[in-house]
């Protein structure tokens, strides 16, 4: 056996050389992910691009890397990619294929997929999506069964048998039913059985020819042929079939104890009989069965007991021969041991394969491994071990299905986890995870009820129980936060953090604590308490740095940038986001790069640097589109629209806001829908289409009430108030909407929301020339905005009120407020 490094070196060099030649400027964005996909260790420079990414981002990067490499190859010269037996494609390969198909600019790349018309296969079900994605670049050629004349021609082409009895030929063509593979196999069967011989350059019936029995199916033909070959050859072929459709010769030699010379002769004979063909010679000789049906029939010809024993022998052989690189054979070992009677080894390797698939975001593969573990659990002797295996597998299945958005199936598995488990903490965990699914479905009341049930179960004081209880409080806090109940949310998260402090810190505990601080920061930020938010984000950042978790550091730094942005300190906000961008670019987190670029675009737009803002928003759009993140594409469209709106290009702004709305509706993103509708309403306000603005704001309000998002409802109500204000004579309605906004802001303790409401009162009373009431509300707004550090907004509302007074002829009063604005602006610049 060649040493590991010798086997991997040629592949490593090929990947590097090909990537550099095709993508000389960006090969470093391709090599790490291809190496990971092929389990080839690379230098530390490349490996750190994988180290800090989660499973979803690794999957995205692999897809993007493959697509970019193929497109680069296609642009050098037209490229043909052939996928045989597409009807057997698995979900992971299909997702990668989706990435290849998902590009905006056509390229000279032809992908040919040969497939049976199997309506139950994943490939068939995905065909509609691929057709929609490619449009007129998609073409389907449906091959019908051969008719009688075509079948007869094929038979004549396969074998020139002028003396074949017409009656037999008619029977063969009738049985074939237009299937070319059947015809090929039946003629080979006639040869194997000695009915046909080759003489004088053509095939002819033997002198003692008699009418043979004709099998009904291809499988029966293959089985009949198999019975005709030498017993040693048959045994060898059967053992090869257990290895798989393709098999390495050195593994076959080891399990059969046949020497290399004799093995070469046997394999050459089987190749001549058209059962197998060489797949590759480098770095190891590997054969493949000519057709999947051949391997299937040969495999099924082995008694089940013998098959299980062969699977065990093959697995043990792989463990022995590949002992220094077993990780690369995880899936193969899981397959063979799971089909053997060695249940302990089967469980061990299925767990590894399931975990590995989950880490690679190969969710459908992971599901199969965990389902297999549940099946095996019934066969192990220890009842306690069986229970632990089942609850672990049901938990993993629930987590994967929840991640996929298959919530009904996820709940079913969490319920099964609850049913099979015997300990209280696991019962509680099963319920909490079910509550988390409800949370993602926006079923907040149901989620809270389940969490209360889960909390009631915890009676013990063990570290496991304490950790579980803290997780319950954290989830409950998240639900309250989404519903705008920030005081309740803060209380829950504080209780969670107090509990966690009692536990011995390890990586899991530190991670949960960091996330808890981040949640607290989010609550403070929502209220406008930016100093407290900053403190919490800094605590979270310190913990991520302790773990050297670069994604955590980058995310927290990004959030700190948003806090500085909300305080109006755009330069500090930009510094934080550039620091975050450097980290996410270093670790190859494309989602992070896109999000941070979008934030930088927003910040530059507030500084009035629209060119720089546009550059970052376009970068966000390009990356989001590249990785297939439709929500990200929609968000980037919204940000681009805001730039166009600021520039006065209302047509482009409306087109981009509408695209954001269309995408949000297509993917069912209600938060996105409310944001897009709200932004379109603001656009209509700008161009004085007040009825249209009101229509869109009322649609926004309905969605936000459904979501229970009180923070955004405050903004919706203040804009509705503005519409009524601009509609002369609708002052009463304007005040009612402002009352609604202030009531919500006070309920959730949002200082920015209260300031927004008081500012609207200022505008309403100012329009009524009730200046004392207008100025009373103006000062309330200024006080709150000053407390939260939003000085630029203070300057703007003073200027706005000064202009209102000036337009009303109150020149002296207007000058007083304009002077205040200028003084604050000057102090701000000096500081």
Q: What is the pLDDT of residues 321-353, one digit of tens each?
A: 888 888 888 999 999 999 999 999 999 999 999
Q: Residue 484's pLDDT band (boundaries 50, 70, 90)? A: confident
When mean pLDDT is compared across 8-12, 547-551, 814-818, the lowest value belongs to: 8-12
C-alpha 770/C-alpha 789 separation (Å) is 28
Q: For 697-720, write each residue's pLDDT tens digit.
A: 999 999 998 887 888 899 999 999
Running DSSP on this structure, what letter comes out for residue 80? Answer: E
> Whole-number mean pLDDT of the chain?
86
Q: Which of 85-94, 170-179, 267-276, 579-588 has the lowest average pLDDT?
A: 170-179
Q: Which residues partner with 198 through β-bridges?
A: 203
Q: Annotate 110-139 with DSSP letters as a single string.
A: EEEE-----TTSHHHHHHHHHHHHHGGG--
DSSP string, 467-530: HHHHHHHHHHHHHHHHTT-HHHHHHHHHHHHHHHTTSPP-HHHHHHHHHHHHHHHHHHHHHT-H
Q: How confident is the model at residue 209 (pLDDT cuts 50, 70, 90)?
A: low
Q: What is the pLDDT of residues 515-524, one digit of tens each?
A: 999 999 999 9
Between residues 130 and 765, which one has the greater pLDDT?
765
- Binned at pLDDT 50, 70 and 90, residue 505 comes out as confident
More confident: 78 or 626: 78
- φ, ψ of residue 40 to 5 degrees: the values are -110, 115
The SS3 call for residue 278 is strand
Give the pLDDT mean for 601-609: 85
Does position 4 have pLDDT exceeding 50, yes or no?
no
pLDDT of residue 313: 95
Domains of the chain and any CATH numbers: 4-137 (no CATH), 157-216 (1.10.10), 222-338 (1.10.10.10), 711-831 (1.25.40.10)
Is residue 365 within 8 A of residue 388, CB to CB? The reply is no
Measured between alpha carbons, how far is 240 from 285 in angstroms, rounded to an integer? 13
Q: Reply yes or no on whether the pLDDT at 472 is more than 90.
A: yes
Exposed, middle or buried, 404 (CB in 10 Å: 0-12/13-18/19+)? middle
pLDDT per residue as tens digits for the range 615-638: 999 999 988 888 778 888 999 999
Whole-number pLDDT of residue 222: 84
* Residues 33, 68: Cα–Cα separation, whole Å: 12
CA distances from 573 to 189, 282, 348, 567 (A): 77, 54, 49, 9
Tokens matching residue 815: 């000058």
Helices 507-527/550-567 angle, 10° precision: 10
Res. 156 pLDDT band, cuts 50 70 90: low
| Confidence (pLDDT) at 415 | 95
Is there a cis peptide before residue 778, judged by omega within 30 degrees of 0? no
Q: What pLDDT does residue 53 have?
A: 72
Lowest pLDDT segment from 44-53, 792-801, 822-831: 44-53
Greatest mean pLDDT among 119-123, 127-131, 684-688, 790-794: 684-688
Q: Tell me: pLDDT of 173 over 90.
A: no
> Do 420 and 390 touch, CB atoms closer than 8 A?
yes
User: What is residue 105's predicted lDDT score, i.e. its pLDDT?
Assistant: 64
Mean pLDDT of 230-253: 93
β-pair type (286-289, 276-280): antiparallel
Q: pLDDT band for position 68 (50/70/90)?
A: confident
Q: By percentage, how much of the chain surpasses pLDDT 70?
A: 95
- Check whether 104 has a pLDDT greater than 70: no
Query: Is 325 exposed, middle or buried (CB count within 10 Å of its CB: 0-12, 13-18, 19+)?
Result: middle
For residue 229, the 8-state DSSP code is S
Task: Supply angle C-alpha 708, 714, 717, rounded to 5.
Answer: 105
**DSSP string covering 575-595:** HHHHHHHHHHHHHT-HHHHHH
What's the confidence (pLDDT) of residue 179?
A: 73
Q: Is the pLDDT of residue 438 over 80?
A: yes
List beta partners, residue 276.
289
Q: Mean pLDDT highest for which of 8-17, 189-198, 560-569, 812-821?
A: 812-821
Decide if pLDDT at 50 tops 70: yes
**569-585 pLDDT, tens digit each:** 888 889 999 999 998 88
Rounded CA separation 439/615 (Å): 36
- pLDDT reading at 162 higher than 60: no
Give me the mean pLDDT over the 301-319 stretch: 94
């Amino acid at each position: 056996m060649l040493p590991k490094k010798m086997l991997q070196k040629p592949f490593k060099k090929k990947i590097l050389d090909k990537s550099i030649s095709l993508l000389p400027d960006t090969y470093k964005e391709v090599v790490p992910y291809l190496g990971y996909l092929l389990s080839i260790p690379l230098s530390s420079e490349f490996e750190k691009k994988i180290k800090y990414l989660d499973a979803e981002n690794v999957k995205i990067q692999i897809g993007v890397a493959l697509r970019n490499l193929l497109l680069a190859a296609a642009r050098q010269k037209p490229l043909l990619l052939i996928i045989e037996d597409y009807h057997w494609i698995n979900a992971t390969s299909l997702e990668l294929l989706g990435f290849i198909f998902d590009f905006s600019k056509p390229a000279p790349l032809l992908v040919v997929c040969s497939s049976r018309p199997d309506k139950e296969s994943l490939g068939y079900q995905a065909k509609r999506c691929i057709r929609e994605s490619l449009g007129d670049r998609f073409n389907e050629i449906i091959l019908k069964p051969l008719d009688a004349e075509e079948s007869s021609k094929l038979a004549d082409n396969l074998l020139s048998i002028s003396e074949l009895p017409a009656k037999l030929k008619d029977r063969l063509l009738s049985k074939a039913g237009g299937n070319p593979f059947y015809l090929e196999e039946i003629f080979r069967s006639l040869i194997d059985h000695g009915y046909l011989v080759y003489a004088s350059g053509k095939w002819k019936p033997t002198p003692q020819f008699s009418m043979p029995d004709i099998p009904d199916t291809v499988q029966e033909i293959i089985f009949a042929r198999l019975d005709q070959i030498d017993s040693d050859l048959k045994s060898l072929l059967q053992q090869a079939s257990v290895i798989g459709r393709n098999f390495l010769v050195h593994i076959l030699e080891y399990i059969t104890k046949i020497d290399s010379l004799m093995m070469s002769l046997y394999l050459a004979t089987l190749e001549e009989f058209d059962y197998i063909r060489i797949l590759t010679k480098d770095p190891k000789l590997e054969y493949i069965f000519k057709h999947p049906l051949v391997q299937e029939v040969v495999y099924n010809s082995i008694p089940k007991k013998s098959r299980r024993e062969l699977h065990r022998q093959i697995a043990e052989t792989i463990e022995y021969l590949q002992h220094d690189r077993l990780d690369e054979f995880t899936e193969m070992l899981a397959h063979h041991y799971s089909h053997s009677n060695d249940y302990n080894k089967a469980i061990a390797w299925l767990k590894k394969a399931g975990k590995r698939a989950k880490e690679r975001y190969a969710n459908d593969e992971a599901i199969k491994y965990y389902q297999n573990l549940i099946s095996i659990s019934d066969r192990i002797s220890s009842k306690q071990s069986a229970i632990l295996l089942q609850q672990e597998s049901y938990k993993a299945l629930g987590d994967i299905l929840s991640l996929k958005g298959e919530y009904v199936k996820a709940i079913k598995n969490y319920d099964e986890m609850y049913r099979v488990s015997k300990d209280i903490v696991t019962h509680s965990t099963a319920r909490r995870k079910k509550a988390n699914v409800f949370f993602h479905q926006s079923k907040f009341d149901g989620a809270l009820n389940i969490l209360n049930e889960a909390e009631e179960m915890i009676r013990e004081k063990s570290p496991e129980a304490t950790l579980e209880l803290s997780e319950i409080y954290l989830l409950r806090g998240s639900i309250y936060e989404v519903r705008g109940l920030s005081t309740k949310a803060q209380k829950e998260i504080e209780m969670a953090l107090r509990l966690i402090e009692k536990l011995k810190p390890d990586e899991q505990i530190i991670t949960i604590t960091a996330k808890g601080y981040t949640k607290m920061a989010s609550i403070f930020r929502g209220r406008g308490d930016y100093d407290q938010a900053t403190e919490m984000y800094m605590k979270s950042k310190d913990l991520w740095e302790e773990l050297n978790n670069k994604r955590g550091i980058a995310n927290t730094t990004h959030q700190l940038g948003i806090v500085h942005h909300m305080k109006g300190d755009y330069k500090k906000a930009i510094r934080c986001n550039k620091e975050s961008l450097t980290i996410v670019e270093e670790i190859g987190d494309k989602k992070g790069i896109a999000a941070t670029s979008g934030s930088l675009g927003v910040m530059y737009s507030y500084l009035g640097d629209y060119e720089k803002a546009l550059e970052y928003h376009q970068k966000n759009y390009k990356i989001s589109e590249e990785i297939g993140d439709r929500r990200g594409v929609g968000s980037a469209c919204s940000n681009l629209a805001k730039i166009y709106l600021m520039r006065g290009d209302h047509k482009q702004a409306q087109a981009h806001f509408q695209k954001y709305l269309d995408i949000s509706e297509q993917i069912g993103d209600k938060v996105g829908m409310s944001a897009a509708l709200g932004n379109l309403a603001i656009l209509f306000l700008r161009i004085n289409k007040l009825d249209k603005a009101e229509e869109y704001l009322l649609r926004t309000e309905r969605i936000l009430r459904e979501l229970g998002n009180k923070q955004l409802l405050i903004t919706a109500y203040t804009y509705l108030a503005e519409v009524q204000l601009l509609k002369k004579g609708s002052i009463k309605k304007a005040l009612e909407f402002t009352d609604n906004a202030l009531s919500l802001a006070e309920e959730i303790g949002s200082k920015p929301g209260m300031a927004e409401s008081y500012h609207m009162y200022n505008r309403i009373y100012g329009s009524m020339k009730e200046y004392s009431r207008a100025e009373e509300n103006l000062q309330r707004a200024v006080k709150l905005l000053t407390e939260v550090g939003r000085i630029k907004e203070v300057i703007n509302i003073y200027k706005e009120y000064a202009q209102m007074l000036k337009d009303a002829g109150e020149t002296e009063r207007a000058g007083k407020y304009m002077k205040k604005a200028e003084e604050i602006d000057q102090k701000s610049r000096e500081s």
